[in-house]
Structure 1
C-alpha cells in the first residue's frame, strides 16, 4: 500500500458503506468533536480535566476500578482518584457519581479487593454510588470501559481506571512514574481511549445507563438537555469535528435480554471491505473467524496488506495457554497463506541498558484503508464475540479531512512503535510502495518493532483443545439450551 490512494470522487463513490445500523452497530450519532488519546497518560490527564468541569453526573462503567490510582502521577498535588471524586461531590452540590464494576474484578482483576469489597472513606457520601455488576452469565465478564460526563462528553476504549494502566507513548524502561499504589514498578503497557462530545456522547451515555439499569434495576437520573456547559478538555486538539460516530456493542443473552453481536459483525465487515491496508493493534489475536477471512484475502494475488501488533508474552498461565497458543495458530495460518508478502505480525519492545523490555499491548484498534477506524473494549477473541459485554466506537470517513485524520492517527501510532517520526514512516512508505516494506526498512535500525518470528510455521492451525470451554463464543447456558432443542426435535422426528 502506498500513501497515495485513489481519492477521486469516482473512487470514493464506488466504495460501499461499512457502517450499517442494526447490523454492525447500534447507532450512528454526530460528535461535535472527537479525538483519539494514544496512551493512558493522555487519557487520565484529559479525564482529570473533564472531571473538574462536571456539574451533574460522572458515570463510570468498567471491568475494574481502583480508587487509589492517581490520574496525574507527575503532579504532586494530584489526589488519588477516590479522594478526587469525593472532593468533587463535596464542592458541587448537584453532582452524582455512579461507578459500576464487574463483580469478579475482586478476584480476577489487578485492583485491590478491599477497594471494591470494603466501604472506603472516599465512598462514604450519599452522592457516590459504587456497585458491583452481578448481572451476567456464568464465566462472562462485564468488559466495557466507559466514562460519561454530564451525558455530553464520553470516553470509550480499552483502559480501566485501575492499577498498572498508566504509561506514556514512549514506554520508557523502568519509568519511576509507572508505579502501582504499593510502590512497585510495572512493565510498559500500550492502550488508548477515544473521547467524543455531543450527540455521540449521549449515545454512549445511553449504553452506560442501560448497563446500570440492567445491573441495578434503575437508571441514574439523566442530565437535563437544557444544560450544555463546556466539557471538552482545554488544550485538546480534536482529530475530528462534526463527525459521525458509530456505537457498537456485544451483549450476551441473559435472562430476558437477547444477545447482541454488533462488534463481531463490524470487525468482519470492515476486514472484508479492505482494499489497501488493514492495521490492527490487539491484546488478543485469537479468533479463527477473523483468521479465515484474512487467510482468504492473503491467498489472493492482489489485496490489502495486513499489519498486526501484539504482545509477545501474555500475562498469566491461563491466558498464555489459550489466547497465546491460539494466537500462534492464527499467525501460523496467516504466514502459510501469505504467498505474496502482504502480512506482517509484530510485537513491540522498549530498549534498556540491560536489553529490550517487552511492551504489553492492551489496545483494541483497527484501521482500514485510512477510511475506517474502530477502537474500544472488544478483543479479537471468542469471548468478545458473544460472551462478554463490550462497547466500541467507529468512524467511517466521509471527507478528505477525515481520511487524513485517520491516516495521521495510524502513522503516529506505527511510527511511535518503530521509534521514528511520522514523516519518516510516510517517506519510507512512499519510497518502498508498501507499509510492510517500509516497516522492514525502518526496522534495520533495530528499534521498537520486532517480527513475530518465534512461531513454527509447521505446527497446528486449529483451535487449541479446551477453547470452547476457556474462550467460549457464547454463554454456556445458550449451548445447553440449543443442545436440548436439537434433542427434542430429534425425538419428535424419530419414527414411532
Structure 2
C-alpha cells in the first residue's frame, strides 16, 4: 500500500509534503544526527530496552525525571529480576567506573505516584558512593520539572513521556485485567498508553547536554562528557531510522538569571500550520486554546487536513478533571464548531473486555503531521508545557521517501493498535474510503477501542474556564504576587518573558 493511496481524498490537490518545519533557534534548540533512532511504542518495550542499555553501561547512567521509584521492575514478566533500585546498585558494585545519577522534581514526593520513602528516606540501594539521588528545587513556584530523560554513557538517550515510576508499565495491547500490571504494593491499575524514543550518536550527546544542564542548574555541579568505547544500543532492536537528523526542543521557564525558552510551543504551532493532509495527535491533556485556534483555522480551510486526536475520557484526580478535563471539552467544542468540512475526529480509548469496556489512560505526547513530521516527548498540549514546566521533546522531519514511509507505518501501527485491527486493514479501509476519519468510524462499528466524545456537545462555551490563568498558567507567577506583594485589586503579574 503506497502512501499516495492512503492519503485522504480531500487533500489530493495538496499532496506535497510539508517542508521546512524545523528551525533551530525558533522551534528547536539543536538538530543533531542520530546514527540510529527508534520509537518505543509502550512502556513494556521501553523498560525492556532500557534494562539492556543499563546492563551495557560502563561509566554513566543519568536519569532526569518528574518522578522515580526504585521498587519498580523493568521486566515484570521475569519474576526473578531485581527491582530497578537494587539492579542499579548491583551494576555499580560490579563496575568500578560506573556512576548513577538521578534527579527528580522536588514536589514528586507530594504529587508523584511513587512512594515518599523512595525520595525522602534513602533505601539501602542508594547507600553507595557512586549512586546519587537528588531532588530538583530550582524552578519557579508552582512549576514542575517534567522532562523524562535517561542517558547511558552519552551514547544512547531515551526521551518521551514515561517516568521510571509506578503505574507506567503496560504493553501495546493494553489488555483489560493484565495480571502483570501491578504496582510494587500489589495493587493492580488500569491500562496506560505512553511511549519513548531512543536515539544514538550525536543526537544522544545533544540530549545528554540538556540533561547535564538541568543537573548543573539544580545542583551547581558540572558533569563532564563521557568517553566510552563500543555501543549501548540494545541488542536486537531494529532501528526505525538510520543516520537521521533529530531535533531537540525544550520548554524552560524564566528563572533567576535564566531567560525563558518556548521552543516546544512554537514547534507545535508551526507543525500544525504546515499540515496539508493529516494531523494525528495522542495527548494526555488537550487543553491549549492557542493550539485549538490553529487547528480550527486548518479545519476551516476547504483544502485543509484531517485532524485526529486521541485522549482519555476520564482524567485521574479532581484537579485534572476540573481544569484539564473541562478545558479539553471546550477545546473539543471549538473544533466541532470549526469542522465545516467534517474533517475532525476526537476519540477516547478503551480496552474491550467481556465485563465491559475498560478506559485506557492516554499519557502519551505525540504529534504526527502528514506522515512527514514526528514529535515525541514530555510536553502536554496545555498551558504549563508552553512556558511554566521544564520539558524536552524530540522531533524528526523526513527528508527521504523511506523516512516518510517509516513515519506513516508508525502512525498506522499506533492507530490500528487502538482500533484492534491490523495496520494493513486500516490502510486498505483508508484507501477505499478516502479518509482516515471515515476508516476509524467504519472499523469502530464492531465495538473496538476508539469512541467519539459523545459527552461533548457542539453548543456551549469555547473559552478557558474560570481560574485557568492560575491553575494552568503559561508562565510563572511572580513570587511577589504569591507572597502578598500585590496591591488590592491588582491582577496577577506574570514573570517577564
Query: TM-score, structure 2 length as denominator?
Result: 0.94
Match of 1:59 in 2: 62
Match of 2:493 in 1: none
Counterparts of 1:237-316 in structure 2, within 5 Å, are: 237-316=238-317
* 2:126 maps to 1:111: no
Q: Give yes or no for contact 1:335–1:343 (8 Å, CA) kept in 2.
A: yes
Match of 1:494 in 2: none
**Matches of 2:247 and 2:481, distance apart in 1:** 34
Q: Give yes or no for contact 2:29–2:247 (8 Å, CA) kept in 1.
A: yes
**Matches of 2:446 and 2:19, distance apart in 1:** 40
Shift, 1:353, TM fit: 1.9
* 2:170 maps to 1:167: yes
Check 1:212–1:415 CA distance in 2 against 1; reply closer, same or farther (3 A cut).
same
Q: Give yes or no for contact 2:6–2:427 (8 Å, CA) kept in 1.
A: no
Deviations 1:8-43 (A, max 9, x none): xxx998853000000000000000000000000000
Q: Give unmatched runs, 5+ long, in structure 1.
A: 488-496
Deviations 1:155-210 (A, max 9, x none): 00000000000000001111110000110000000000000000000000000000
Check 1:13–1:287 CA distance in 2 against 1; reply closer, same or farther (3 A cut).
closer
Check 1:116–1:344 CA distance in 2 against 1; reply closer, same or farther (3 A cut).
same
Deviations 1:73-96 (A, max 9, x none): 001221000000000000100000
Q: 1:91 aligns with which of 90, 94, 106?
A: 94
Q: 2:195 aligns with which of 173, 186, 192?
A: 192
**Matches of 2:278 and 2:454, distance apart in 1:** 21
Shift, 1:444, TM fit: 1.3
Q: Give yes or no for contact 1:2–1:435 (8 Å, CA) kept in 2.
A: no
Match of 1:439 in 2: 440
* 2:153 maps to 1:154: no
**Matches of 1:329 and 1:356, distance apart in 2:** 25
Shift, 1:144, TM fit: 0.1
Q: Give unmatched runs, 5+ long, in structure 2.
A: 9-13, 491-497
CA RMSD of aligned residues (A): 1.7
Check 1:284–1:14 CA distance in 2 against 1; reply closer, same or farther (3 A cut).
closer
Higher mean C-alpha displacement, 123-132 vs 12-21: 12-21
Q: 1:73 aligns with which of 61, 68, 76?
A: 76
Match of 2:405 in 1: 404
Deviations 1:402-436 (A, max 9, x none): 00110010000000000000000000010001100
**Matches of 1:15 and 1:418, distance apart in 2:** 27
Q: Give yes or no for contact 2:6–2:434 (8 Å, CA) kept in 1.
A: no
Q: 1:136 aligns with which of 136, 139, 158?
A: 139
Check 1:478–1:306 CA distance in 2 against 1; reply closer, same or farther (3 A cut).
farther
Q: Give yes or no for contact 1:89–1:127 (8 Å, CA) kept in 2.
A: yes
Give the SS at the match of 1:66.
coil
Query: TM-score, structure 1 length as denominator?
Result: 0.94
Q: Give yes or no for contact 2:34–2:204 (8 Å, CA) kept in 1.
A: yes
Q: Give yes or no for contact 1:2–1:429 (8 Å, CA) kept in 2.
A: no
Give the SS at the match of 2:205.
helix
Counterparts of 1:358-437 in structure 2, within 5 Å, are: 358-437=359-438
**Matches of 1:88 and 1:221, distance apart in 2:** 21
Higher mean C-alpha displacement, 265-274 vs 469-478: 469-478
Q: Give yes or no for contact 1:156–1:194 (8 Å, CA) kept in 2.
A: yes
Q: 2:129 aligns with which of 117, 123, 126?
A: 126
Check 1:308–1:215 CA distance in 2 against 1; reply closer, same or farther (3 A cut).
same
**Matches of 2:331 and 2:18, distance apart in 1:** 29
Match of 1:492 in 2: none
Counterparts of 1:302-341 in structure 2, within 5 Å, are: 302-341=303-342
Match of 1:101 in 2: 104
Q: Give yes or no for contact 2:18–2:276 (8 Å, CA) kept in 1.
A: no
Give the SS at the match of 2:478.
helix
Check 1:106–1:276 CA distance in 2 against 1; reply closer, same or farther (3 A cut).
same
